[in-house]
Structure 1
């Protein structure tokens, strides 16, 4: 039974992380991102570790999507 509870807990955490990731993805403009960064800066690194990791991943994905062949920016 303990194993089933751990699986349920892990699945719930994944759903919550996906939801948080979707909410954070809405902050796309430089002004929105600056506001979010300012809010995050008010909290400790430990408290914001997951949020920072999600934002870093989203930044990486956005940068990758704008890169053209050979690492050049797409027009």
Structure 2
């Protein structure tokens, strides 16, 4: 019984972490213009690399996705 309870708890934590990560990614996606990104970079600069690691990873993925989308539209 304990194993099942632990497994359920672990799954619930992973789901909650995934939802929080998705919410953060959605919020960060709103910073699209150069001015907005500069403002965000200033805010992030007040914190350590360790504290902002997840945010920088999300922003990098979003930037790569935007570059890919732009390249596809230009090539198409």
Matches within 5 A, 1:1-75: 1-68=5-72, 74=74
Unaligned runs of 5+ in 2: none
Distance between the aligned counterparts of 1:56 and 1:25, measured in 2? 11
What do you get for the CA RMSD once the two structures are aligned?
1.3
Q: Determine which structure has more spread, i.e. the larger CA radius of gyration.
A: 2
What is the aligned length? 71
Higher relative contact order (CA 8 A, sep 6+): 2
Q: Please state whether the residue corresponding to 1:74 is helix, strand or coil.
A: helix
SS in 1 for 2:31: coil
Cα distance in 2, alignment partners of residues 41 and 61 from structure 1: 23
Which sections of structure 1, spanning at least 5 residues, go unmatched? none
Please, what TM-score do these two structures have when normalized by structure 2? 0.89
